[in-house]
Amino acid sequence: MTPDRTPDSDANADMDLDPIARSPQANGMPSADAIDADARRGSVPADVLSSHSAASLGGSYLKAEISASAIRHNMSLIRAAVGTTAQVCSVVKANCYGHGLATLLNLLEGLTDFFGVATPEEAIVLRQMGCLKPTLMFLPACGWATGRELRQALDRLIVENVTFTLVHKDELRAIAEASRRVGIEAKVHIMVDTGMGRGGAPVEDSIDLFRAARNESAVALTGAYTHFATADDGDQEFTRHQLNRFLNVVDLSGGREGLVLHAANSAATIAMP
């Protein structure tokens, strides 16, 4: 879906922010192509974790080779760019985008602060593999099941200490009921749709959702996020507009203290760390 790139008329979206549009090189962060250049030149040891056939097309096999040293090298560049106060989330949905969760999990656990998954099944698989890192599920809490199936899944995810994405008050009520059933406080991050148009609470509804979550004793609001629509474009104007809107919503909803705030996908991490 193509996002609406026209800033809306919300006066709050014009909150002044310090300039953040700097070149990747000015931030000490190379371009996306440069990140892997050392590995391609051979200066990073190619200690292959796995080599597996991904598909067969007309008799030709596609193969993915995973270099642990290249991953460590790339992560060290990311850490250097974002600084010591920022956390890094490794998104491992869809079996690490087809590269193999079983292959990469042990390596990534030592490099990341928390994990992101799409579905309840992916979250449970992480726990079954022994991973206890904080884990955020991107699908809205009630967006994938109903009735008894939903209740059982919410109960299991709370017990497994999986953090939910919250986009609607109805979901907050369902999560709170599950929390009381199992006797464990549930954790949620609110997703705000600042222009992607693909998921999240609309900006105009977000402040009430923040307030409701903060007032729900069975639920802990531990974070909030948005998703940049065009961070991989050369022009970062719309990305800055989205960030402005997101931070404005948070500031008008009780402030940033105690919350993990996140928005930077890979492109934004490189261009605007």
Contacts of 149 (CB under 8 A, 6+ apart): none
3 state DSSP class of 71: helix
Query: What's the pLDDT tens digit per position in 177-234?
Result: 999 999 999 999 999 999 988 889 999 999 999 999 999 999 999 999 999 988 888 8
Q: Which of 60-69, 141-150, 223-232 has the lowest mean pLDDT?
A: 60-69
**Range of lowest pLDDT (16-20, 79-83, 108-112, 221-225):** 16-20
pLDDT of residue 15: 28
Q: Which of 7-16, 56-65, 101-110, 186-195 has the lowest mean pLDDT?
A: 7-16
Full 3-state SS string of 74-88: HHHHHHHHHCCCCCC
Tell me how many helices (H) and strands (E) the chain has: 11, 10
Compute the distance between CA of residue 243 and CA of residue 241 in angstroms, rounded to an integer: 5
Rounded distance between C-alpha atoms, residue 228 and residue 191, angstroms: 12
Q: Which residues pair with 261 in a beta bridge?
A: 224
Mean per-residue pLDDT over the chain, rounded? 82
What are the tokens at 165?
């994405």
Q: Return d(Cα 267, Cα 28) in angstroms, integer.
A: 15
> Please, what is the Cα angle at 92 between 120 and 160, to 5 degrees?
40
Q: Look up tokens 């597996």; give the residue.
A: 52
